[in-house]
């Protein structure tokens, strides 16, 4: 489960607002047995996470690894790795833990970047809520491999197999206002 | 919003179970102003969608397009395109609409595939629930372009720009039991 979580930085975070479900794309990072998210102190789920009871959430991460083309329509599927975390998200108030979390959120997106950027200042930190979710109730679902066709379909004339899918990274594009003497850092060219 | 929805086939579907949020990765397809999902008739959200009231859901689709590296930690971000649909999912019982939906679900994953596979038979259709969600309450969020650094940070020595991210497809891998005289179909080699 750690490997699946560590291979991504974007989750879909579900919570209940006025009785109805809400699912928001959200950045996250794992530190030991805890996930961290952050955002504006004004945003709804983060504000609720600051209340005594915290906020009940479901955090889901899904990697698509392949399109599974079976001989029959019904057995078409996706190869994927998914982790679902249920629990209570709570705001982090301890300055040291907040700092650890914000570092992890940068490092999880681009390893090596946290030490090559200006850290948040006091005003920015005051405007940022950090939320923690413990990895207590976690399940993983994974599908790999070939299609599972029914025996009676094996002689059908349709091509069957898997089309691999991956997330890939392109060439870093400098910002328009970047000083041209600043070169692309090694942690980006290694990617 | 149609373009963002049509560029993917996997959403994260949120609903409320016993008062708590649940977010499941789910395949979907759009037909006009309606999204379709399918699954086993036994699965919780699909079963609830079959009740008179349907089931309140939030369906979210997110494409990650780039990692945005600002000069300051606080302005790091993701370039993305996201659509969030709120509404009530209801089971589809009309045979013609069910057939349209199941076709669309295959075609949305691999265009051209629906006519090159064995269609679902009566028994398979009976075990499959099809659920519809109308595109009534829909919002899109998109971020593109360069980092937004604060003016006082523009002279910092850190590289800044965007690392592009894309979903890419590899070489189709035939199933181990595929008749070797069956060649890869054109709708896969074009991808």
Query: How many CA atoms lie within 13 Å of A103's alpha carbon, on the beta-carbon side?
Result: 10
Nearest CB among A161, A172, A184 relative to B174 is that of A161
Give the pLDDT confidence score for residue B76 in this predicted structure.
96
How high does pLDDT run on average in chain A?
95
Q: What is the average per-residue pLDDT within B167-181?
A: 96
Backbone angles phi, psi at A71, to 5 degrees: -70, -30
Domain containing A20 — which CATH number? 2.30.110.10
Q: What tokens does B187 get? A: 């709708």
Q: What is the average per-residue pLDDT within A165-169?
A: 96
Burial of residue A51 (CB within 10 Å: 0-12, 13-18, 19+) is exposed
The single-letter DSSP state of residue B72 is: B
CB atoms inside a 10 Å sphere around CB B64? 19
Chain A within 8 Å of B58 (Cβ-Cβ)? yes
Residue B50: pLDDT band (50, 70, 90) is confident
pLDDT tens per residue, range B21-49 = 999 999 999 999 999 999 888 788 888 88
What string of H, E and C letters represents the secondary structure of A139-158? EEEEECCCCCCCHHHCCCCC
pLDDT tens per residue, range A112-128 = 999 999 999 999 999 99
CB atoms inside a 10 Å sphere around CB A120? 19
pLDDT tens per residue, range B55-101 = 999 999 999 999 999 999 999 999 999 999 999 999 999 999 999 99
Would the CB atoms of B23 and A12 count as touching at under 8 Å? yes
Give the pLDDT confidence score for residue A52 in this predicted structure.
83
Backbone angles phi, psi at A6, to 5 degrees: -75, -15
Give the pLDDT confidence score for residue B40 in this predicted structure.
84
Would the CB atoms of A14 and B12 count as touching at under 8 Å? yes
Q: Are A37 and A28 in contact (CB under 8 A)?
A: yes
| pLDDT higher than threshold 80 for residue B103 | yes
Nearest CB among A102, A166, A191 relative to B163 is that of A191
Residue A108: pLDDT band (50, 70, 90) is very high
- Which 86-115 residues of chain B touch chain A by CB within 8 A? 86, 102, 106, 109-110, 113-114
Q: Are A66 and A73 in contact (CB under 8 A)?
A: no
Q: What tokens does B63 get? A: 């494409």
Structure ipTM over 0.90, yes or no: yes
Q: Closest chain A residue to B145 measured between Cα atoms?
A: A175
Give the pLDDT confidence score for residue B34 in this predicted structure.
98
Range of the domain at A149: 2-189
| pLDDT higher than threshold 90 for residue B52 | no
**Dist. CA A100–CA A2, nearest whole Å:** 18
pLDDT tens per residue, range B111-143 = 999 999 999 999 999 999 999 999 999 999 999
Q: What is the largest CA-CA distance in chain A?
A: 68
**Dist. CA B104–CA B110, nearest whole Å:** 10
Torsion of CA B140, A109, A49, A40, to 10 degrees: -60
pLDDT tens per residue, range A52-101 = 889 999 999 999 999 999 999 999 999 999 999 999 999 999 999 999 99
| pLDDT higher than threshold 80 for residue A190 | no
Give the pLDDT confidence score for residue B78 in this predicted structure.
97
| pLDDT higher than threshold 90 for residue A145 | yes
Would the CB atoms of A169 and B163 count as touching at under 8 Å? yes
Domain total in chain A: 1
**Dist. CA B160–CA A173, nearest whole Å:** 9
């Amino acid at each position: 489960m750690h490997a699946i979580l560590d291979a991504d930085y974007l989750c879909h975070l579900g919570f209940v607002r006025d009785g109805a479900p809400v699912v928001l794309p959200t950045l996250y990072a794992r530190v030991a047995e805890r996930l961290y998210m952050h955002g504006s102190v004004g945003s709804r789920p983060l504000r609720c996470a600051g209340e005594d009871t915290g906020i009940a959430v479901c955090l889901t991460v899904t990697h698509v690894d392949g399109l599974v083309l079976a001989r029959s329509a019904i057995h078409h599927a996706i190869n994927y790795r998914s982790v679902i975390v249920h629990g209570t998200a709570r705001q982090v108030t301890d300055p040291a833990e907040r700092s650890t979390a914000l570092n992890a959120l940068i490092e999880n997106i681009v390893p090596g970047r946290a030490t090559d950027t200006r850290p948040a200042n006091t005003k920015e930190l005051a405007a940022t809520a950090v939320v923690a979710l413990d990895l207590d109730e976690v399940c993983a679902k994974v599908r790999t491999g070939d299609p599972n066709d029914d025996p009676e379909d094996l002689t059908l004339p349709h091509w069957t197999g898997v089309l691999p899918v991956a997330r890939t990274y392109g060439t870093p594009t400098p910002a328009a206002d970047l000083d041209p003497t600043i070169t692309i850092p090694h942690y980006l060219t290694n990617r």
